[in-house]
Amino acid sequence: MNLFEAITEWFCNNIVWGTPMVVFIFGAGIFLSYKLDFLQITHLPLIFKNTVATLFKKGDKNKSEKGISQLGVISTALAATIGTGNIAGVATAIAIGGAGAIFWMWVSAIFSMATAYSENLLGVYYRQKNERHEFVGGAMYYIKNGLKGRRFLGVLAVPLAFLFACFCLFSSLGMGNMIQVNTVAELFKNKVLGISLPPIITAVILSGFVGFAIFGGAKRICKITEKLVPFMAFIYVFGSLLVIAVNFKNLHNAVISVFKGAFGVGALLGGFSGYGVKIALNTGLKRGIFSNEAGLGSATLIGACSEVKEPAVQGMWGVFTVFFDTIIGCTLTAFAILTSGVQASENNMGLLLVTESFSKSLGSGAGELVSVLTLLFALSTVIGWSFYGIKAAEYLLGERLIWIYKILFTLAVFPGALLNLKTVWTLADIFNGLMAVPNLIGVLALTKQVVSVTNNYKERVLKNKDYIPPMISAPLKNEKQKTKNAFCQSKKRFKRF
């Protein structure tokens, strides 16, 4: 390990994703949950009615020629969120923090739902329309427009929005592209469904797939995710449930181990281990944040493009995304491992642990199922993050120069498939984590607006007070301002310091 790798790894582990950042993100979730009266728990029927229930209705009331259907929005958000972390990441969390890490992952998800609700609500409330009269929004827009004019934060509005867009763009190239492509290349190098391909061939095929998706625009990206995500989710849920069903007799002990491990209670001695609690808590919270991405602000970029009218409804979709990703997705993987009886260790973690758990339960051929799941998760992440990157590039460069980013994103497939990405992994983690700083500053500063819009919606919908004017969009002084000036605005603002 050279000096640069050592410094970046230390910075990533101790600063960006160290305890202070985890406490900051988790604390924001607790604060927002309190301010919203724990809406993610107290209003579950309303959330279900406005999210899952709408997917079973005939037609798509949210679809238009200019906007994106709600199914397309949630599919793209899940495509970017559900990744290899739901498989290998959960297995690694169990190996490091024990079964108790799963409990703290649940706790993280419950509070993260309030964060996801708030940022998705703000994304719709502060969105604008671009030159093609399409909705654009997300963290950089509510940071810039929401903080503008504030006594202390107003001067930071444009720079913080600019930084978020930059962090998002770099994350899309690293975590959203190269890392995922590298996983796919390794899979095919070791055979997937009997197919073995050298990395260069994998890179050529994937670049064609990525280019087809990204140059087709937002509509094509969402159409691909609409087909890929339900199929991927079905295989994922079915495969995990099958393993759990085969080992159903071990489920009771697996559940007990999660709660005992969470509070440091020894299975044999009944003792209490503060160190065990610390490791389980830290690992679980961190893995939960990594998995559902609540607080990073990434999902707001697609949520703001929806034709949904009510900001609060889009916020509820944010709750659903966290619920499906962590409470359902990560939990299924965790119990598939814990019920299988396979022991996690430093030498048996990540994808290897999941593969062994499936193989022991379903036979040697089940390893192919894990490979297919990993392949689908990686591809979905690439497609989902390409959308985020496009929106970040549109904000920074303007609509006419987005093609530069699209070419760069497509070409990034090659180094992703061919190179050793240890340093890229670290840098991707850094940029991914740094997104939370400007985003949460914006969300926390705009908590009053989140509460006001939420209360307005509840008064009108739950109490039938139709005479109350709806709070659907923020009054913007310069709504037609073009995003292509973002770089120049930030550059001028930085010079004032």
What tens digit of pLDDT does each residue of 99-137 get?
A: 888 888 899 889 999 999 999 999 999 988 877 777 888
Q: Does residue 37 surpass a pLDDT of 70?
A: yes
Q: What percent of the chain has pLDDT over 70?
A: 86
* Segment among 53-62, 215-224, 355-364 with least mean pLDDT: 53-62
pLDDT value of residue 162: 94
More confident residue, 482 or 332: 332
Inter-residue contact 221 to 386 (CB < 8 Å) = yes
* Mean local confidence (pLDDT), 189-218: 83
* Segment among 65-69, 93-97, 103-107, 128-132 with least mean pLDDT: 65-69
For residue 328, what are its two tokens?
């359902």
With respect to CATH, is domain 67-462 assigned 1.20.1740.10?
Answer: yes
List pLDDT tens digits, range 304-318.
888 888 899 999 999
For residue 480, what are its two tokens?
């037609």
**Distance in angstroms (rounded) separating the CA atoms of residues 329 and 238:** 11
Beta bridge partners, 272, equal: 265
* Segment among 166-175, 232-241, 283-292 with least mean pLDDT: 283-292
For residue 226, what are its two tokens?
């609409």
* Mean local confidence (pLDDT), 258-269: 67
Q: Could you tell me which of 155, 133, 172 has the C-alpha nearest to residue 489?
A: 155
More confident residue, 115 or 292: 115
Q: Does residue 482 surpass a pLDDT of 50?
A: no
For residue 343, what are its two tokens?
């022991």
* Mean local confidence (pLDDT), 249-277: 70
> What pLDDT band is residue 272 in, cutting at 50, 70 and 90?
very low
pLDDT value of residue 450: 94
pLDDT value of residue 408: 92
Q: What percent of the chain has pLDDT over 90?
A: 22
pLDDT value of residue 84: 67
Q: Could you tell me which of 335, 347, 349, 359 has the C-alpha nearest to residue 257?
A: 335
* Mean local confidence (pLDDT), 335-344: 86
List pLDDT tens digits, range 379-435.
888 888 888 898 899 889 888 888 898 999 999 888 888 877 677 777 778 888 889
- Computed over every residue of the chain, the mean pLDDT equals 81
User: Tokens 């978020």 belong to which residue?
Assistant: 164
**Distance in angstroms (rounded) separating the CA atoms of residues 336 and 249:** 12
> What pLDDT band is residue 348 in, cutting at 50, 70 and 90?
low
* Mean local confidence (pLDDT), 55-72: 60
Per-residue b/e over 140-153, b at no fewer than 16 CB within 10 Å?
bbbbbbbbbeeeeb
C-beta atoms surrounding 363 within 10 Å: 9
Q: Does residue 186 surpass a pLDDT of 70?
A: yes
